[in-house]
Structure 1
Amino acid sequence: MSAGPDHAALARIALGHITRVYPHSGPQWLNRAADWQPPEQAHPLFCGSYDWHSCVHSHWLLVRVLNCAPELPEAAAIRQRLEQITDDAVTAEIATFERQGASFERPYGWAWLLMLQAELLRSSEPLARRAAVTLQPLAALLAERLQDYLPRLPYPIRSGQHNNTAFALLLCLEYARTAQDQQLERLLRERSLAWFANDSDCPAWGEPSGEDFLSPTLQQAVLMQQVMGGSAFATWLDAFLPELAAQQPATLFRPVNVSERSDGKLAHLDGLNLSRAWCWFRLSATRPALLAVAKAHLTAALGHLEDDYMGSHWLATFALLAQQAASEHA
Structure 2
Amino acid sequence: MTPLTSEFASRFAAIALGHVTREYPNHILHGLEGPEDAKTPSELHPVFYGSYDWHSCVHGYWMLARLLRLHPDMPEAPAIRDLFSTMLVPDRIAGECAYFDRPMARGYERPYGWGWLLKLAAELHGHEDPSWGAALSPLTERIVQRFRDFLPLATYPVRVGTHYNTAFALRLAADYADTVGDDILFELLRATALRWYGTDTACPAWGEPSGDDFLSPALIEAECMHRLMPASEFARWFDAFLPDIAASKPRTLFAPAAVSDRSDGKIAHLDGLSLSRAWCWACLAGTLPVTDPRRPVMIEAAHGHLEAGIAHVAGDYMGEHWLASFAVLALTETE
TM-score (norm 2): 0.94
Q: Does 2:103 match 1:103?
A: no
Match of 2:322 among 310, 314, 324: 314
Looking at structure 1, the residues matched to 231 and 188 of structure 2 have their Cα atoms a distance apart, in angstroms, of 21
Q: Which residue does 1:44 correspond to in 2?
A: 46
Which deviates more, 246-255 or 281-290? Answer: 281-290
Counterparts of 1:67-78 in structure 2 under 5 Å? 67-78=69-80
Looking at structure 1, the residues matched to 61 and 27 of structure 2 have their Cα atoms a distance apart, in angstroms, of 18
Shift of 1:6: 1.1
Deviation digits for residues 109-145 of structure 1 (CA, Å, limit 9, x no counterpart)? 111111000000032x12xx10111110000001101
Deviation digits for residues 217-239 of structure 1 (CA, Å, limit 9, x no counterpart)? 00010111112242321211111
Shift of 1:294: 0.3
Shift of 1:245: 0.9
Shift of 1:88: 1.0
Note if contact 2:59-2:120 (Cα within 8 Å) is conserved in structure 1: yes
Shift of 1:288: 2.2
Q: Which amino acid aligns with 1:111?
A: G
Looking at structure 1, the residues matched to 93 and 2 of structure 2 have their Cα atoms a distance apart, in angstroms, of 40
Number of aligned residue pairs: 324
Counterparts of 1:135-284 in structure 2 under 5 Å? 135-284=136-285
Match of 1:288 among 292, 295, 304: 295
Q: Which amino acid aligns with 1:295?
A: H
Give the unaligned 5+ runs of structure 1.
Answer: none
Shift of 1:291: 0.7
Q: Which residue does 1:79 correspond to in 2?
A: 81
Looking at structure 2, the residues matched to 306 and 66 of structure 1 have their Cα atoms a distance apart, in angstroms, of 20
Q: Which residue does 1:113 correspond to in 2?
A: 117
Q: Which amino acid aligns with 1:82?
A: F
Looking at structure 1, the residues matched to 28 and 204 of structure 2 have their Cα atoms a distance apart, in angstroms, of 33
Counterparts of 1:117-128 in structure 2 under 5 Å? 117-123=121-127, 125-126=128-129
Q: Which amino acid aligns with 1:132?
A: G
Note if contact 2:42-2:49 (Cα within 8 Å) is conserved in structure 1: yes
Deviation digits for residues 179-218 of structure 1 (CA, Å, limit 9, x no counterpart)? 1111111100110111111110112121111110000100
Note if contact 2:2-2:331 (Cα within 8 Å) is conserved in structure 1: no
Q: In structure 2, the residue corresponding to 1:265 is in which secondary structure? A: coil
Looking at structure 1, the residues matched to 154 and 2 of structure 2 have their Cα atoms a distance apart, in angstroms, of 41
Which deviates more, 68-77 or 31-40? Answer: 31-40
Note if contact 1:28-1:36 (Cα within 8 Å) is conserved in structure 2: no
Match of 1:18 among 20, 36, 45: 20
Q: Which residue does 2:63 correspond to in 1?
A: 61
Looking at structure 2, the residues matched to 3 and 298 of structure 1 have their Cα atoms a distance apart, in angstroms, of 11
Q: Which residue does 1:92 correspond to in 2?
A: 95
Give the unaligned 5+ runs of structure 2.
Answer: 289-293
Deviation digits for residues 44-90 of structure 1 (CA, Å, limit 9, x no counterpart)? 10100000000000000000011111111111011001112111101
Note if contact 1:122-1:178 (Cα within 8 Å) is conserved in structure 2: no
Q: Which residue does 2:291 correspond to in 1?
A: none
Note if contact 1:2-1:299 (Cα within 8 Å) is conserved in structure 2: no
Shift of 1:27: 1.5
Q: In structure 2, the residue corresponding to 1:186 is in which secondary structure? A: helix
Match of 1:302 among 307, 310, 332: 310
Which deviates more, 163-172 or 33-42? Answer: 33-42
Looking at structure 1, the residues matched to 329 and 230 of structure 2 have their Cα atoms a distance apart, in angstroms, of 20
In structure 2, relative to structure 1, the CA distance for the partners of 1:211 and 1:195 (3 Å cut) is same
Shift of 1:31: 2.0
- How big is the alpha-carbon RMSD for the aligned residues of Structure 1 and Structure 2? 1.3
Looking at structure 2, the residues matched to 300 and 251 of structure 1 have their Cα atoms a distance apart, in angstroms, of 15
Note if contact 2:25-2:52 (Cα within 8 Å) is conserved in structure 1: yes
Looking at structure 2, the residues matched to 288 and 239 of structure 1 have their Cα atoms a distance apart, in angstroms, of 16
Note if contact 1:25-1:51 (Cα within 8 Å) is conserved in structure 2: yes
In structure 2, relative to structure 1, the CA distance for the partners of 1:68 and 1:2 (3 Å cut) is closer
Q: Which amino acid aligns with 2:61?
A: H
